[in-house]
Amino acid sequence: MNSKKSHKKSALKVNAGIEKPEAVNPLLQQKPDKFRKNRVSPSEYLKGIQTGNRTLLSRAITLVESTLPEDSKAAGELIRLCLPFSGKALRMGVTGVPGVGKSTFIERFGLFLIENGHKVAVLTIDPSSMRSRGSILGDKTRMEELGNNSRAFIRPSASAGTLGGVARKTREAMILCEAAGYDIVFVETVGVGQSETAVAQMVDFFLLLMLAGGGDELQGIKRGIMEMADLIVINKADGENINKANLAKREYENALHLFPPLPNGWQPSVLTASALYGENVPGIWDQIENFMQLTKQNGFFEKNRKDQAYQLFEETIHQSIHDHFFSHPLIKSRLKKYKAQILNQQLSPYEASQKLLDFYFHSFQK
Ligand code: GDP
């Protein structure tokens, strides 16, 4: 078929090109130094965030998240300055599948906490935004009312890098928020993958939101995630859903009883709530307060923080060694060679890894 002819008759035709409008503010495409109007020193950042300047807190987090080598020294210095003022907040993980009501819950709960004299920061870890620009958590306008409150600070997920990298940045953002005086820090993540484990390793209390009648499989919730939860909340327990929610509550309670007891003496429970209508929000806070009281008394709150600190130490070393190994040009070229030999079955993976490690240790040992 003659395509030109068919185009004439068809509504489908290719229009002459028009100039594409700028999708991105051209200033942002320039070198970062040029659009950062004025450089702020780490001590000025600390002073600013401690006086409640949320813009400066946001910029400080951007600095910490930066992967530019010229930012790393200032970022490290800023963290060092903030550390003595950190650690006093309650760190709370919130997870659940998309649509379960995480942002509705955090907004409602956050406003309730603010009414009770707290300052609330919300950080997110969104694994979808690390793979692509798309983001499950960030696409919609989220928590507008909370975001407009002067006693709240909301920061979307860092989107560059691996889960491990983003988790590290989130811990650092948490330190900055604590130094800024936020005494409750939420770390929100989507309950669909590995990110819950990363969040569980940086918080004091882990809350899992569920829906009634979804079934575990449908909700993508694995047993492992339930095991991490200190509290399960069946959300959307309102209207016609109340009976189903109560039924689900009993099912999950039965499931929880099958898990081995936790070393910290806490017995995770199941509550029903409606984030939309604010039903049972205070009941959730009661549970968290009970948890804090118990674990602070029996020493497990402190122990958990110390374990997490040590874990972070090991992880950071692990990551640095990994990066050093895999990014070294001499290793990279040999990796290719060994890969071919493994695929051709000329060498076993054991032999190949031993040879490469021998080379590495020999070359880099002083
Ligand atoms: P997220 O993806 O987990 O952050 O979920 P959202 O907070 O965006 O909520 C998804 C949808 O569920 C929205 O339309 C909310 O209005 C609705 N929703 C959230 N919580 C409740 C609730 O407690 N009851 C009802 N009926 N709807 C809710």
Q: Which atom of ligand 1 is nearest to the CA of 273?
A: 23
Distance CA 23, CA 1 (A): 38
How confident is the model over 294-303, as a mean pLDDT?
Answer: 97
The pTM for the full model equals 0.82
* Domain-wise residue ranges, the chain: 37-85, 87-298, 311-365
H helix intervals, the chain:
3-9, 26-29, 32-35, 42-50, 54-65, 69-82, 102-115, 127-131, 144-147, 163-179, 195-200, 216-219, 223-228, 242-257, 281-297, 300-327, 329-343, 349-364
For 211: left if phi > 0, alpha if psi spans -120 to 50, otherwise beta; the answer is beta
Under 8 Å between Cβ of 296 and 90:
no
> Each residue of 168-211: pLDDT tens digit?
889 999 999 999 999 999 999 887 677 888 899 999 999 999 99
> Each residue of 225-268: pLDDT tens digit?
888 999 999 999 999 999 999 999 998 898 888 888 899 999 99
Give residue 207 CA to ligand 1 midpoint distance, Å: 16
* CATH 1.20.5.170 is right for the domain spanning 37-85: yes
Under 8 Å between Cβ of 240 and 200:
no
Give residue 188 CA to ligand 1 midpoint distance, Å: 15
Q: CB of 263 closer than 6 A to ligand 1?
A: no
**Predicted pLDDT at 4:** 44
How confident is the model over 207-223, as a mean pLDDT?
Answer: 71
How confident is the model over 138-163, as a mean pLDDT?
Answer: 79
* CATH 1.10.287 is right for the domain spanning 311-365: yes
Ligand 1 pocket test: pick from 94, 97, 100, 104 the residue with the most ligand atoms within 8 Å of its Cβ: 104
Lowest mean pLDDT among 41-55, 86-100, 143-157, 209-223: 209-223
**Predicted pLDDT at 20:** 53
Q: CB of 101 closer than 6 A to ligand 1?
A: yes
> Each residue of 263-276: pLDDT tens digit?
999 999 999 999 99
- What is the residue-averaged pLDDT of the chain? 85
Q: Hey, what CATH topology would domain 87-298 get?
A: Rossmann fold (3.40.50)
State yes or no: pLDDT of 8 exceeds 60.
no
